């Protein structure tokens, strides 16, 4: 897993690729904390290169969503496909994030 944060004006994009599971989710927590602390309010999570996600990875993204929303911001998730898409659909997160 690699997670790359890019800030452009108001917008922040997190590109997460590879494997977001119980092992690697620990590594994105500090990045999520920083996005929230910086009060970035237009966040896009780009998962086009994400190969596999599990419930801990989903939990981290939901946590990002809730905290950015609490700051008055928005989180969109883009690029979902294959296994990650199946998980997001099962957990009905496709209605939450404008996928």
Residue selected from 1, 16, 35, 58 as contacting other proteins according to rule CB under 8 A: 58
Regarding 66 and contact with other proteins (CB under 8 A), the answer is yes
Q: Which of residues 8-47 bind other proteins (CB under 8 A)?
A: 19, 21-23
Report the distance separating Cα 48 and Cα 65, nearest Å: 18
Q: Which helix (H) or strand (E) holds 25?
A: helix 25-37
Query: Which region, judged by CB under 8 A, interacts with other proteins, from 4-12, 32-40, 48-56, 72-80?
Result: 48-56
Give the burial class of 26: count Cβ atoms within 10 A of its Cβ; 0-12 exposed, 13-18 middle, 19 or more buried: exposed
Q: Would you count residue 65 as binding other proteins (CB under 8 A)?
A: yes
């Amino acid at each position: 897993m690699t997670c790359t944060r890019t800030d452009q004006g108001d917008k922040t994009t997190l590109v997460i690729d590879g494997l977001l599971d119980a092992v690697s989710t620990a590594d994105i927590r500090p990045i999520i904390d920083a996005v929230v602390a910086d009060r970035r309010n237009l966040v896009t999570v780009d998962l086009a290169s994400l190969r596999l996600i599990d419930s801990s990875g989903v939990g981290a993204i939901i946590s990002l969503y809730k905290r950015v929303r609490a700051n008055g911001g928005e989180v969109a998730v883009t690029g979902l496909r294959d296994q990650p898409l199946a998980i997001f659909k099962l957990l009905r997160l496709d209605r939450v994030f404008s996928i």
